[in-house]
Amino acid sequence: MTEHQERLDTFYHSHGPCCAGCDWWRSLSSRAGECHRTAMIPGADRPAPLGITSASLSIGAGHAMTPREHVCGEFKDGFDWASLPIEYRKRIGELVSSRASRSPQSQDTQGGDGAT
Residue 23 region, left (φ>0) first, then alpha (ψ -120 to 50), else beta? alpha
User: Are 32 and 68 contacting, i.e. CB atoms less than 8 angstroms apart?
Assistant: yes
Report pTM.
Answer: 0.78
Q: Indicate whether 116 pLDDT > 60.
A: no
User: What are the domain boundaries of the chain?
Assistant: 3-97
Q: Residue 65: pLDDT above 80? A: yes
* pLDDT bracket for residue 101 (50, 70, 90): low
116 contacts 96 by C-beta, under 8 angstroms: yes
What integer pLDDT is reported at residue 54 of this predicted model? 87
Highest mean pLDDT among 53-57, 70-74, 105-109, 111-115: 70-74
**CB within 8 A of 87, min separation 6: which ones?**
none
Per-residue pLDDT band for 110 (boundaries 50, 70, 90) equals very low
Within a 10 A sphere around the Cβ of 8, how many other Cβ atoms?
23
